[in-house]
């Protein structure tokens, strides 16, 4: 019989070890090697059975064992030490506290998933893991941030593989108390309840769980509360469970409910109100509408001023160029919610327009969450250099008339949290070699600090662990061989990631795997979305191939890819393979985690690899994007993959001096040093603070001051400029001063007459844009801008602007003159999508 609820009854902790409670209820244990080891040492076998979770461990240990530990002086000392370290961690000054000048007061970080630990399965893949790493680095750096998400009762599914190779899903229920979460309560101890008015005279209620991620509280809204009808209790049943209304309800709860949860938490915890709101992908976009509602009803702003205030303080990160990864809802469905009294004071029609695909060729019946995100966030970014470029192209339609490279979407490349992802063996080695220094400063290249033998032994031992894990997970004691070159490949299984590219030529792959002198083994893992049968077919093909007796034991599929498996998998591989269809992998982070753990990357030049591949840290699989068909492209890229394995990887790996692969180890040392510096989420979070959070906080303060005078003024300015813009044009440009033989170092006067359509000269910037030109006379992306200054306006409404063109470069170059709006609170010249160029 299946229980409908489970809960945990905890034994009493004696005073000597009472601090275990605090240690178990702060998720810092998951990246603190010593705290982790402390809990594991209480009962190693039980530790595994409780899924390596301290709160569960305390619930599962009997009173007798706990009493015995309380009498064990050495154990009590360790508890005290760890408790002191936790306290110091939570209260000390960190990077953020040492910033001088402007900085945000508090950032609210919204995400539909958070991958904090294997025992808290509130993530499906990279987006969630990234969010988890973001919180952990924010905590390590002392950045005042609050996470906001949903608590899914069943989280993401657990995967098993049937005899037929078909994926099976199961959804074990989670007990939040047993995991060490606490319920947000009013001062009188009643649980805080958030409520949302929704169509059909219904009210959706939610409670709020708090997971402490080091210094960062993570608020998770949970619709499982007695106040809800049976139907509405299911809203947060599963991560990405249903579609349509179920999904929309989840996103309304995350965005609108999330802001309300932040308000309650702020009130009860005494923390400052956030001045920056970061939405990790579009799912939480409704947070901006809820905040507009607050400004309208509480502060008396109109729609435009409320929008300006929200935009100024919102950071939007887009995470995928794959259309299926972007949430799109039927317009009428969203309209019914917006019109149903959910958001007091917000004009439903205007709110709806913020999410419509209002460009030529857009679907007029669709409400697009990425569009909403970009309209509500003045600060937007993609997640690698390449993805930034791709996103500017993809979303450029929202800024018609703006050159793609000027579309105001920047990029911050993702990173990973080394304390979480570095294998304990390497952590121990680096602590021995480098002391407590940050991973980012470790130089692994010096063989006097870490010898080849030490590094290779560490690698071999981590590989041995993976082999052991695979043998026991698949109940096959003879598969894999720790001496063989091991390639790992694990990810979610959407089509663009091409799980089965390696099977393109099965005979050739078989020869590679079974080469008598230089064999190769491949470890594969990955989950397909439960509703995606095409992904399940790919898994089935792979599983079936791995069961072919000719290759048995040389290629294995490990079920249930999650954080726990990942932590064994990455360190156990020599090479990490990634072969997406370029440029559909926005960033990718598994390769970074593998690199930190001494694996070399073998990847299509996509996402982060396009940026950081340097010829010494792995291999680039050439992209065949000019192939005539998808089939040909796959053939060509698979052939290149096989070539690289045969001609580059295996020779380097099997070439030994004194039993060790010298060339290989040199590449490892370089990879661990170089990517250890760049690929961390500390670097990433610092960039967010410097480049997006702080400017957002500064904008927020500027618009908020003097009773929101700035917001009202910016809104009025925007409306005025938009209305006048159709009449703005450049009447003439005079540069007759350009000599036939222009010489570097000289200058040329430029003079332009501009009709301002009723705007004042200071409302606009008249810009001379110049740079090298290509064969089509297009000015290159690296362009220079000089502002021309106005002279007296003439009675006919035309104003002359004057400036000089510096001839500072040689070669062919060109220039043009354009008019753009200018206002101190605009982030970019082209932000309003209003650009008028000379023709
Ligand atoms: C890192 C990670 C991912 C994301 O990896 P990608 O390279 O972005 O595909 C997915 N799942 C798990 C469990 C991870 O640890």
Closest Cα to atom 4 of ligand 1: 126
Residue 588: CB within 6 Å of ligand 1? yes
DSSP state of 25: T
Return the closest-CA partner of residue 274 out of 284, 285, 259, 286.
259
Task: Provide the token pair at 238.
Answer: 């599963």
Task: Provide the token pair at 745.
Answer: 């170092």
> Is 480's pLDDT higher than 90?
yes
Averaged pLDDT for residues 16-40: 95
Residue 422 lies in a domain: no
Residue 2 lies in a domain: no
Q: What is the pLDDT of residue 437?
A: 60
Asked whether residue 177 falls in the same domain as residue 316, the answer is: yes
Asked whether residue 643 falls in the same domain as residue 575, the answer is: yes
pLDDT in tens, 187-199: 999 999 999 999 9
pLDDT band at 7 (very low <50, low <70, confident <90, very high): low
Residue 592: CB within 6 Å of ligand 1? no
pLDDT in tens, 113-138: 999 999 999 999 999 999 999 999 99
Asked whether residue 466 falls in the same domain as residue 514, the answer is: yes
Residue 491: CB within 6 Å of ligand 1? yes
Residue 707 lies in a domain: no
Q: How far is the CA of 590 from the centre of ligand 1 (A)?
A: 5
pLDDT in tens, 720-769: 999 999 999 999 998 777 666 777 778 888 999 999 999 999 999 999 99
Asked whether residue 404 falls in the same domain as residue 460, the answer is: no
> Is 10's pLDDT higher than 80?
no
> Is 506's pLDDT higher than 70?
yes
Closest Cα to atom 13 of ligand 1: 562
For residue 578, the ligand 1 atom closest to its alpha carbon is 7
Averaged pLDDT for residues 535-564: 96
Choosing from 420, 568, 590 the residue with most ligand 1 atoms within 8 A of its CB, the one to mutate for a pocket test is 590
Residue 415: CB within 6 Å of ligand 1? no
Closest Cα to atom 3 of ligand 1: 126
Residue 718 lies in a domain: no
Residue 566: CB within 6 Å of ligand 1? yes
- The answer to whether 598 touches 378, Cβ cutoff 8 Å, is no
pTM (2 decimals)? Answer: 0.96
pLDDT in tens, 403-428: 999 999 999 999 999 999 999 999 99
Q: How far is the CA of 584 from the centre of ligand 1 (A)?
A: 15
Q: How far is the CA of 129 from the centre of ligand 1 (A)?
A: 7
Q: How far is the CA of 493 from the centre of ligand 1 (A)?
A: 11
For residue 124, the ligand 1 atom closest to its alpha carbon is 11
Q: Identify the weakest region by mean pLDDT among 205-219, 733-747, 803-817.
A: 733-747
Residue 423: CB within 6 Å of ligand 1? no
> Is 384's pLDDT higher than 70?
yes
Q: What is the pLDDT of residue 694?
A: 98
Segments forming the whole domain that contains residue 19: 15-91
Choosing from 570, 587, 589 the residue with most ligand 1 atoms within 8 A of its CB, the one to mutate for a pocket test is 589
Choosing from 491, 526, 608, 684 the residue with most ligand 1 atoms within 8 A of its CB, the one to mutate for a pocket test is 491
Residue 827 burial (C-beta neighbours within 10 Å; 0-12, 13-18, 19+): middle
Residue recorded with tokens 């599929």? 557
pLDDT in tens, 777-809: 888 778 889 999 999 878 788 999 999 988 877
Asked whether residue 349 falls in the same domain as residue 481, the answer is: no
Averaged pLDDT for residues 2-26: 85
- Strand 328-330 versus strand 182-183 pairing type: unpaired
Residue 772 lies in a domain: yes
For residue 497, the ligand 1 atom closest to its alpha carbon is 9
Residue 563: CB within 6 Å of ligand 1? yes
Residue positions counted in the chain: 839
Q: How far is the CA of 592 from the centre of ligand 1 (A)?
A: 10
Q: Is the backbone peptide bond immediately before 796 cis, with ω within 30 degrees of 0? A: no
* Euclidean distance between CA atoms 120 and 176, whole angstroms: 9
Asked whether residue 437 falls in the same domain as residue 332, the answer is: no
The residues, ordered by sequence, that sit 6+ positions from 647 with a Cβ below 8 Å of its Cβ are: none
Closest Cα to atom 8 of ligand 1: 588
Residue 596's CB is within 10 A of a number of other CB atoms, namely 25
- Farthest-apart Cα atoms in the chain, separation: 96
Closest Cα to atom 10 of ligand 1: 125
Give the mean pLDDT of the chain.
Answer: 94
700, 716, 739 - which closes a domain: 700
Residue 631's CB is within 10 A of a number of other CB atoms, namely 10
Phi, psi of 108 (to 5 degrees): -100, 120
Q: How far is the CA of 566 from the centre of ligand 1 (A)?
A: 8
The residues, ordered by sequence, that sit 6+ positions from 297 with a Cβ below 8 Å of its Cβ are: 344, 345
Inter-CA distances, 416 with 46, 126, 368, 485, 491, Å: 29, 10, 29, 25, 16
- The answer to whether 46 touches 60, Cβ cutoff 8 Å, is yes
91, 112, 127 - which closes a domain: 91
The residues, ordered by sequence, that sit 6+ positions from 643 with a Cβ below 8 Å of its Cβ are: none
Asked whether residue 321 falls in the same domain as residue 462, the answer is: no
Asked whether residue 296 falls in the same domain as residue 194, the answer is: yes
Q: How far is the CA of 128 from the centre of ligand 1 (A)?
A: 9
The count of structural domains within the chain is 4
Asked whether residue 382 falls in the same domain as residue 437, the answer is: no
473-503 exposure pattern, b = at least 16 Cβ within 10 A, e = fewer: ebeeeebbebebbbbbbbbbbbebbbbbbbb
Choosing from 156, 414, 490, 494 the residue with most ligand 1 atoms within 8 A of its CB, the one to mutate for a pocket test is 490
Inter-CA distances, 681 with 439, 474, 562, 599, 626, Å: 11, 34, 19, 19, 35
Q: What is the pLDDT of residue 322?
A: 86
Residue 66 lies in a domain: yes
pLDDT in tens, 595-609: 999 999 999 999 999
Inter-CA distances, 714 with 137, 305, 689, 704, 833, Å: 35, 7, 24, 11, 15
- The answer to whether 749 touches 737, Cβ cutoff 8 Å, is yes
pLDDT band at 278 (very low <50, low <70, confident <90, very high): very high
- The answer to whether 23 touches 78, Cβ cutoff 8 Å, is no
Angle, to 10 degrees, between the axis of helix 563-572 and the axis of helix 452-473?
Answer: 130
For residue 585, the ligand 1 atom closest to its alpha carbon is 8
Residue 421 lies in a domain: no
> Is 41's pLDDT higher than 80?
yes
Residue 280 lies in a domain: yes
pLDDT band at 8 (very low <50, low <70, confident <90, very high): low
Residue 129: CB within 6 Å of ligand 1? yes
pLDDT in tens, 92-111: 999 999 999 999 999 999 99
The CATH number of residue 764's host domain is: 2.60.40
Q: What is the pLDDT of residue 775?
A: 80
Q: How far is the CA of 382 from the centre of ligand 1 (A)?
A: 17
Residue 593: CB within 6 Å of ligand 1? yes
Q: How far is the CA of 356 from the centre of ligand 1 (A)?
A: 31
Helix (H, G, I), strand (E, B) or coil at 280: strand
Asked whether residue 657 falls in the same domain as residue 758, the answer is: no
* Euclidean distance between CA atoms 196 and 210, whole angstroms: 20
Q: What is the pLDDT of residue 6?
A: 66
pLDDT in tens, 159-187: 999 999 999 999 988 999 889 999 999 99
Helix (H, G, I), strand (E, B) or coil at 343: coil
- The answer to whether 42 touches 24, Cβ cutoff 8 Å, is no
For residue 590, the ligand 1 atom closest to its alpha carbon is 7
Residue recorded with tokens 């941030």? 145
The CATH number of residue 505's host domain is: 3.40.50.2000
Q: How far is the CA of 413 from the centre of ligand 1 (A)?
A: 15
Residue 319: CB within 6 Å of ligand 1? no
Tell me the torsion sign for CA atoms 329, 332, 336, 338.
Answer: positive
Asked whether residue 117 falls in the same domain as residue 85, the answer is: no
Asked whether residue 83 falls in the same domain as residue 101, the answer is: no
Residue 590: CB within 6 Å of ligand 1? yes
Count how many Cα atoms sit within 13 Å of the Cα of residue 675 in the half-sphere of its side chain.
34
* Euclidean distance between CA atoms 216 and 477, whole angstroms: 43
Q: How far is the CA of 596 from the centre of ligand 1 (A)?
A: 14
* Euclidean distance between CA atoms 649 and 520, whole angstroms: 10
């Amino acid at each position: 019989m299946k229980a409908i609820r489970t809960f945990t009854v905890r034994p009493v902790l004696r005073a000597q070890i009472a601090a275990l409670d605090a240690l178990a209820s702060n998720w810092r244990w998951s990246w603190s090697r010593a705290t982790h080891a402390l809990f594991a040492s209480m009962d190693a076998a039980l530790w595994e059975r409780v899924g390596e979770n301290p709160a569960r461990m305390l619930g599962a240990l009997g009173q007798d064992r706990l009493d015995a530990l309380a009498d064990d002086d050495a154990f009590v000392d360790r508890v005290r030490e760890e408790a002191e370290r936790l306290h110091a961690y939570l209260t000390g000054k960190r990077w953020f506290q040492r910033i001088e000048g402007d900085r945000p007061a508090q950032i609210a970080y919204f995400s539909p998933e958070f991958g904090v630990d294997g025992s808290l399965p509130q993530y499906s893949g990279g987006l969630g893991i990234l969010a988890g790493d973001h919180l952990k680095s924010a905590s390590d750096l002392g950045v005042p941030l609050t996470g906001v998400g949903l608590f899914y009762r069943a989280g993401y599914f657990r995967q098993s593989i049937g005899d037929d190779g078909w994926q099976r899903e199961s959804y074990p229920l989670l007990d939040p108390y047993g995991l060490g979460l606490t319920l947000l309560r009013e001062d009188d101890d009643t649980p805080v309840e958030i409520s949302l008015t929704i169509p059909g005279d219904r009210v959706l209620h939610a409670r709020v769980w708090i997971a402490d991620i080091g210094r960062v509280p993570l608020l998770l809204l949970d619709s499982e509360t007695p106040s809800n009808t049976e139907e509405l209790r299911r809203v947060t049943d599963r991560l990405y469970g249903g579609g349509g209304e179920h999904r929309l309800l989840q996103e309304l709860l995350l965005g609108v409910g999330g802001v309300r949860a932040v308000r309650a938490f702020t009130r009860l915890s005494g923390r400052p109100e956030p001045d920056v709101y970061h939405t990790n992908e579009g799912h939480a976009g409704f947070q901006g509408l809820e905040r507009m509602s607050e400004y309208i009803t509480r502060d008396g702003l109109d729609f435009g001023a409320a929008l300006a205030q929200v935009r100024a303080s919102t950071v939007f990160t887009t995470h995928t160029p794959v259309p299926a990864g972007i949430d799109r809802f039927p317009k009428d469905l969203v309209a019914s919610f917006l019109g149903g009294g959910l958001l007091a004071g917000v004009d439903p029609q205007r709110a709806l327009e913020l999410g419509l695909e209002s460009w030529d060729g857009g679907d007029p019946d669709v409400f697009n969450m990425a569009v909403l995100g970009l309209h509500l966030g003045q600060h937007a970014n993609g997640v690698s250099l390449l993805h930034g470029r791709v996103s500017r192209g993809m979303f450029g339609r929202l800024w018609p008339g703006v050159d793609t490279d000027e579309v105001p979407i920047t990029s911050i490349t993702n990173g990973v949290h080394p304390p979480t992802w570095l294998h304990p063996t390497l952590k121990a080695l680096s602590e021995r070699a480098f002391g407590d220094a940050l991973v980012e400063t470790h130089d692994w290249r010096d063989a006097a600090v870490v010898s080849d033998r030490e590094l290779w032994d560490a690698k071999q031992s981590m590989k041995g662990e993976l082999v052991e894990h695979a043998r026991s997970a698949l109940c096959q004691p003879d598969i894999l061989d720790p001496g063989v070159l091991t390639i790992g490949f694990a990810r979610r299984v959407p089509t663009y990631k091409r799980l089965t590219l390696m099977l393109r030529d099965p005979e050739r792959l078989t020869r590679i795997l079974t080469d008598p002198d230089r064999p190769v083994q491949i470890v594969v893992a990955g989950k397909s979305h439960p509703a995606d049968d095409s992904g399940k077919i790919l898994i089935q093909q792979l599983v079936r191939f791995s069961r072919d007796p000719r290759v048995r034991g040389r290629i294995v599929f490990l079920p249930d890819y999650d954080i726990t498996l990942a932590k064994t998998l990455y360190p156990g591989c020599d090479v990490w393979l990634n072969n997406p269809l370029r440029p559909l992998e926005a960033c990718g982070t598994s390769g970074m985690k593998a690199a930190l753990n001494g694996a070399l990357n073998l990847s299509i030049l996509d996402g982060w690899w396009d940026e950081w591949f340097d010829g010494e840290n792995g291999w680039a699989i050439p992209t065949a994007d000019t192939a005539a068909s998808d089939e040909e492209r796959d053939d060509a890229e698979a052939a290149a993959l096989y070539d690289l394995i045969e001609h580059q990887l295996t020779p380097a790996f099997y070439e030994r001096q004194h039993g060790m692969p010298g060339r290989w180890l040199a590449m490892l040392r370089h990879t661990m040093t170089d990517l250890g510096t760049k690929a961390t989420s500390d670097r990433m979070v610092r960039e967010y603070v410097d480049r997006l959070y702080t400017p957002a906080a500064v904008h927020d303060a500027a618009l908020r001051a003097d009773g929101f005078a700035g917001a009202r003024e910016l809104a009025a300015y925007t409306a005025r400029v938009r209305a006048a813009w159709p009449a703005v044009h450049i009447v003439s440009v005079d540069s007759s001063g350009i000599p036939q033989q222009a010489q570097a170092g000289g200058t040329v006067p430029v003079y332009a007459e501009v009709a301002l359509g009723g705007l004042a000269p200071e409302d606009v910037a008249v810009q001379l844009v110049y740079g090298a030109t290509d064969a089509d006379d297009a000015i290159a992306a690296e362009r220079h801008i000089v502002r021309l200054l106005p002279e007296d306006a003439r009675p006919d409404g035309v104003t002359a602007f004057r400036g000089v063109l510096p001839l500072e470069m040689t070669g062919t170059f060109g220039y043009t003159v354009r008019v753009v709006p200018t206002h101190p609170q605009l982030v970019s010249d082209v932000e309003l999508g209003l650009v008028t160029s000379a023709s």
